[in-house]
Structure 1
Amino acid sequence: MNSSSNVVGLAPITALVVDDEQLAREELKFLLNSIGGVEILGEGSNGIEAVELIEDLQPDVVFLDVQMPGLDGFAVLKQLIERRGVQKLPQVVFATAYDQYAVRAFDVNAVDYVLKPFDKSRIQQAVERTRARLAEAGQESSTSINASAGKDAGMDALLEMLHRQQTTPRGPAPNKLIVQVQSRLLLVDQSEICFAEIEEGIIRVVTPTVEGHSKCRTLEDLLELLDPSMFWRAHRGYVVNINHIREVVPWFKSSYQLRMDDKKQTEIPVSRAQTKRLRELFNL
């Protein structure tokens, strides 16, 4: 556990840091300690751990990554509401590399959201908002005899909102995709992507000039963001942009490989289940 020196005249707020990337956790803990007035009770690396740690440590605020294996940040919040009710929820600051989640974060009553890579002044602002929200909650509990009933009504509304968000069809795919290249987050036109592959849970995205990683957890998640008229799942481990196929190479036993137009001219296998689709695409 880490702790920081108190902000003058204010009691420290207690915090939990949850992110599946260790470097992101370390960076966030460093910034919180440098700001002061925050006592870090612990850290977790996935949504399942988050639920248990929140139950055990009961922090004032949770800095919660949106996209994590097991349970994402919104699913963590939903599970906590179902277990404990809104009145026992900590404050939540969502952390994400995608600002498309910002509106949704506020829709589920988060106190704030912060974008990766983290900025100290932005983290400080999130801490100040958390402190203000905690002060408001304290005043409400001491002055309103109907606070519990109001929060129960809020729980029902919030559960309904979360359910609606999970079941509402997504809008059209964005034209650009975020690709992480070392510490940089690059916006890449979908048309520039040659292919994506998954290996040991990491999705690699390749263009003619850039090679990086997607924050998506599965190729299914990635495909939801991609234009289906361009991208095809040629193999369980690969998604290809059909406009970047340079050559179709006959392989053994009536199978094929695709030679892409990236710098390495990567050869990608076509699964037997997708051979028919390949023949339809190129009239083989």
Structure 2
Amino acid sequence: MNIKCIIIDDNEIAKKNLKTILNSYGFIEIAGEFSNGVEAIDYINYLKPDVVFLDTEIKNISGFDIIDKISATIKPLFVFVSSNNECASKAFDYFAFDFITKPFEKERLNKTIEKIQEYKRKEELIKVQSSLEDILSIVKGNENSECKKINIKSGNKIYFLEPDSIKYITASGYYIEIFTEDNKKFLLRESLASIHSRINSNKFIRVHRSTIINSDFIEEIISSNYGETDVKIKDTKATFRVSKGYKKDFQEYMGVK
């Protein structure tokens, strides 16, 4: 199993140390190393590496800004390598795969590499969406229809879900989980933004950076005295908090204040 990675760090000593350790693994290919985060963005979008090792603080851009600006549908795993422990919680808010504190020992990096290998093994069980385009063209039906079936691979089976059957979708690390009205759950490696655009239905509203809800399945909207808003899903115990960044759009969409 070959793993293609990129290093982004403007500390040359730290970058050299990391490169030396990574080169000791025969299955890791260092496809690029950058001190300039802006230059790295286009390279990541083009090369689509498996893993990006990056510092949280680079001279011309932060590691978090780099993640925000990457346009690739399937993003690489991000491993933050930083001397700033205070950035750890924010890193995991950005679904960082791991966070390593500088200076680090090879034993600590070994654990990260083992996690990456295990992740890649599991990833082989997850469908690559582009490989099913020809199948979709046959089964998706009317090209002018607003809602087209969503193809999902689970084990050795491929499912084609009607968007109307999806209750909600949540982000879970580098995967998304799709929950349907027949109480099934599907795991897929794709971003929320990407699945939202593929569904192409105005019934789906984003309430959080990690949650999209089918408005047909909203049972209750609960407002607290502290200005917080929660959404309860029909026929489930699932309740989701509407984050501040999505609250205005959600209220306008639902016609509530």
TM-score, normalising length from structure 1?
Answer: 0.47
Amino acid at match of 2:84: Y
> Is the alpha carbon distance of 1:46 and 1:33 closer, same or farther for their aligned partners in structure 2, counting shifts above 3 Å?
same
Amino acid at match of 2:3: I
| Offset at residue 152 of structure 1 (A) | 4.0
| Offset at residue 90 of structure 1 (A) | 0.6
Amino acid at match of 1:79: K
Contact kept? 1:47, 1:71, Cα under 8 Å: yes
State, as a whole percentage, how many aligned pairs show the same letter.
31
State yes or no: 1:63 paired with 2:49: no
Contact kept? 1:108, 1:158, Cα under 8 Å: no
1:234-277 residue CA offsets vs partner (Å, 9 max, x unmatched):
xxxxxxxxxxxxxxxxxxxxxxxxxxxxxxxxxxxxxxxxxxxx
Unaligned runs of 5+ in 1: 1-10, 167-284
Amino acid at match of 2:192: A
Match of 1:84 in 2: 72
| Offset at residue 25 of structure 1 (A) | 1.0
Amino acid at match of 1:76: I
> Is the alpha carbon distance of 1:134 and 1:165 closer, same or farther for their aligned partners in structure 2, counting shifts above 3 Å?
farther
Q: 2:244 & 2:36 partners in 1: Cα distance?
A: 21
Contact kept? 1:44, 1:53, Cα under 8 Å: no
- After the TM superposition, which residues 1-284 of structure 1 pair with which residues of structure 2 at under 5 Å, given as runs? 11-80=1-70, 83-85=71-73, 88-141=74-127, 143-144=153-154, 145=159, 151-153=190-192, 157-158=208-209
1:213-238 residue CA offsets vs partner (Å, 9 max, x unmatched):
xxxxxxxxxxxxxxxxxxxxxxxxxx
Unaligned runs of 5+ in 2: 129-152, 162-174, 179-187, 195-205, 212-242, 246-257
Alignment length (residue pairs): 149
> Is the alpha carbon distance of 1:77 and 1:158 closer, same or farther for their aligned partners in structure 2, counting shifts above 3 Å?
farther
Q: 2:85 & 2:32 partners in 1: Cα distance?
A: 26
Q: 1:36 & 1:103 partners in 2: Cα distance?
A: 32
Contact kept? 2:56, 2:82, Cα under 8 Å: yes
Quick check: which one's strand share is greater? 2
Contact kept? 2:192, 2:210, Cα under 8 Å: no
Amino acid at match of 2:20: F
Amino acid at match of 2:58: M
Amino acid at match of 1:84: A
Match of 1:244 in 2: none
Amino acid at match of 1:73: G
| Offset at residue 17 of structure 1 (A) | 0.7
3-state SS of the aligned residue for 1:95? strand
> Is the alpha carbon distance of 1:135 and 1:153 closer, same or farther for their aligned partners in structure 2, counting shifts above 3 Å?
same
Amino acid at match of 2:99: Y
3-state SS of the aligned residue for 1:93? strand
RMSD: 2.9
Quick check: which one's helix share is greater? 1
TM-score, normalising length from structure 2?
Answer: 0.51
